[in-house]
Amino acid sequence: MLAIPFYIILFLYLIFLCVFFIFSLINFYHIISTGSLNFTSFVVTFLITALSILTLYYTWEVISTVDWSRDLVLFDINWFKK
């Protein structure tokens, strides 16, 4: 049986969140440094930030119910036996 700890998925998700946060900081820096502070950039930045916060909240609600000590079975030879 080939299995990995379930918390590996959590680590991959945290890496994704770090990369997303870095790109968000680069985006905010780009908006400020180029001087494109107008109403449209404010609205779009606000919407993206609000949707990101909502996504993080709902993700937190979902992953808080997961038992991270279980194993994720990737392959088991018994699946092919009768």
Longest dimension (CA), the chain: 67
Distance CA(22)–CA(50), nearest Å, equals 17
Kindly list the domain boundaries of the chain, sorted by start residue: 2-80
What DSSP assignment string belongs to 68-81? TTSEEEEE-GGGG-
pLDDT tens, 16-28? 999 999 999 998 8
Integer CA distances (angstroms), 5 to 28, 65, 71, in order: 36, 16, 4
Angle, in degrees to the nearest 10, between helices 7-33 and 39-63:
170
**pLDDT computed for residue 8 by the predictor:** 93
CA–CA separation, 16 vs 24, rounded Å?
12
Q: Please state which of the ranges 11-20, 23-32, 48-57 shows the lowest mean pLDDT.
A: 23-32
